Amino acid sequence: MVCTRKTKTLVSTCVILSGMTNIICLLYVGWVTNYIASVYVKVQEPMAEKKLEEDKGDTLRIIERLDHLENVIKQHIQEAPPKPEENPAEAFTDSSLFAHWGQDLSPENRRIALKQFQYYGYNAYLSDRLPLDRSLPDLRPNGCKNLTIPDSLPEVSIVFIFVNEALSVILRSIHSAIDRTPPHLLKEIILVDDNSNNEELKEKLKEYVDEVNTRKPGFIKVVRHSKQEGLIRSRVSGWRVATAPVVALFDAHVEFNVGWAEPVLIRIKENRKRVISPSFDNIKYDNFEIEEYPLSAQGFDWELWCRYLNPPKSWWKLENSTAPIRSPALIGCFIVDRQYFQEIGLLDEGMEVYGGENVELGIRVWQCGGSVEVLPCSRIAHIERAHKPYTEDLTAHVRRNALRVAEVWMDEFKSHVYMAWNIPQEDSGIDIGDISERKALRKKLQCKTFRWYLVTVYPEMRMYSDIIAYGVLQNSLKSDLCLDQGPDTENIPIMYICHGMTPQLQL
Ligand SMILES: *[C@@H]1O[C@H](CO)[C@@H](O)[C@H](O)[C@H]1NC(C)=O
Ligand SMILES: *[C@@H]1O[C@H](CO)[C@@H](O)[C@H](O)[C@H]1NC(C)=O
Ligand SMILES: [Mn+2]
């Protein structure tokens, strides 16, 4: 699952720094993202060009300085990081893993913990040492306990998908699901292993599953992909195996809180066209403490990255913190009627790896006659990793998936997605694959327009009109300089080394 609560991007964080640090930061960002700045719109006479001519002397000196700094930084980047063995007593003190945890570990254990952290993106060393059945603080709003539970509710199958996840983290997800779902409502647990190469996920996980299944035959089912399919197709693989009338699709690094299931099953029983997300809290990646998150709806920006949103005004007016929150989209984990999920077209299996499928599902459900909501009384804690365990460049996949959504669902608003990613609408050079099936699905289901969706379901989303051109404004005298927004505090545009990221994108 993609969403984090960080409001600033790496780049805007860079820009609020000053001077030398700023430049190092931006170059670092450019380096890690391997970003190539590009210009799609030639503007006749950029104002900045004229300005540059007027104070050429100053500017050239600045350019020289920037060139010099760039070389310094390149040298830094090429240097290998210092070998930890050289100074074991102070090893790894600068990792974020040790900011709030592990001060009294021995150097050897620090080394082990750090290695696992780098692999998993969370503190697997600590997870291995915490009980699988630990309790969680009950973070439900007042009134949730008073919810009247009908005698008969549909059963649920819980699907956990994972690739190279720490075994103890998966087992804690399973334990919390079993411990905090009423046994008569939990039909089965399905584990989808997206071709992990991690050995302990083969033998040891099988031992655990076999042991549970000797007590409850067929209760845990395991699906293993023979090649990596990405989390989108992994969710669908899990759904295919599920047999309960309701299916819950989750990451395998979560802990279910008390009473999570009943409110969800009540809402789906009332209306099977509701797709439900629980409210998320955070399991901190370093010390595994639970951090309470405010109640939120789930949406996205024009790049189709997910975002948490303030609940709509209509919800605040109810003054009832247990009431369902209408949500434009989903951040990735959700519960759905098994048959209905098929009727509306599962997930877009033409998407690759990661990202965008949650937004697509939300838009599709709304436009095609269903609804999406977040339930305050159903709470799940989820580990927000410090970094993703995938080695590939995720951004390229997210962008490709976003363009599929734009082309199939967004009508005239698809321009907004191209604009947000700063790519031309014609001949973008990005192969988004075959979308004819998804377009046929939209036609078959007689779905509403994206304009209807924006006005009715997602009025918070900003619409742009009268955009003449977009891209970066590149200087024609010194072509590696671009117009940039400059430091947040000053509101003065500056010329800067072209990095092509948000602060340099002009509309
Ligand atoms: C919930 O129930 C308890 C006891 O049954 C009662 O004291 C309390 O006022 C109720 N709360 C709400 C919000 O209805
Ligand atoms: C608050 O919302 C819940 C869930 O929809 C509902 O059951 C309850 O009756 C509402 N309470 C009030 C006081 O309206
Ligand atoms: Mn996740």
Alpha carbon nearest to ligand 2 atom 7, residue: 147
Alpha carbon nearest to ligand 2 atom 13, residue: 320
Q: What is the CATH number of the domain that holds 306?
A: 3.90.550.10
Tell me the best of 148, 267, 268, 320 to mutate to test the pocket of ligand 2, counting ligand atoms within 8 Å of each CB and taking the most: 320
Same domain? For 69 and 216 the reply is no
Q: How far apart are CA 237 and CA 248, in angstroms?
A: 13
Give the atom of ligand 2 at the shortest distance from the alpha carbon of 324.
5
Q: By residue range, what is the domain housing residue 247?
A: 144-383
Q: Which residues does ligand 2 sit against, CB inside 6 Å?
A: 320, 322-324
Same domain? For 70 and 96 the reply is no
State the residue for tokens 């990661």. Answer: 354
Same domain? For 186 and 272 the reply is yes
Same domain? For 75 and 102 the reply is no
Positions in the chain whose pLDDT score sits under 50? 6-57, 59-62, 72, 74-90
* DSSP label at residue 80: P
Take residue 454 and report the two structure tokens written for it: 């924006």
Same domain? For 307 and 345 the reply is yes
Q: Which of 363, 383, 403 is the last residue in one of the domains?
A: 383
> Is the shortest distance between the CB of 137 and ligand 1 below 6 Å?
no
Give the atom of ligand 1 at the shortest distance from the alpha carbon of 145.
1
- For residue 453, is it within any domain? no
Same domain? For 149 and 223 the reply is yes
> Is the shortest distance between the CB of 143 and ligand 1 below 6 Å?
yes
Same domain? For 254 and 374 the reply is yes
Give the atom of ligand 1 at the shortest distance from the alpha carbon of 146.
1
Same domain? For 325 and 293 the reply is yes
Q: Domain tally for the chain?
A: 3
Query: For the purposes of burial, counting CB atoms within 10 Å of the CB of 39, is it exposed (0-12), middle (13-18) or buried (19 or more)?
Result: middle
Q: Which of 383, 413, 445 is the last residue in one of the domains?
A: 383
pLDDT score at 286 = 96
Same domain? For 103 and 152 the reply is no
Same domain? For 16 and 56 the reply is yes
- For residue 127, is it within any domain? no
- For residue 478, is it within any domain? yes
Q: Report strand pairing: 186-193 vs 220-224.
A: parallel
Q: Which ligand is closest to the CA of 285, given by its number?
A: 3
In order of 227, 287, 408, 428, the CA distances from 432 in angstroms are: 21, 40, 11, 10
- For residue 411, is it within any domain? no
Same domain? For 65 and 209 the reply is no
Cα 323 to ligand 2 centroid, rounded to whole Å: 6
- For residue 153, is it within any domain? yes
- For residue 434, is it within any domain? no
Q: Which of 331, 359, 383 is the last residue in one of the domains?
A: 383
- For residue 490, is it within any domain? yes
Cα 333 to ligand 2 centroid, rounded to whole Å: 25
- For residue 139, is it within any domain? no
Same domain? For 267 and 331 the reply is yes
Tell me the best of 145, 146, 320, 322 to mutate to test the pocket of ligand 1, counting ligand atoms within 8 Å of each CB and taking the most: 146
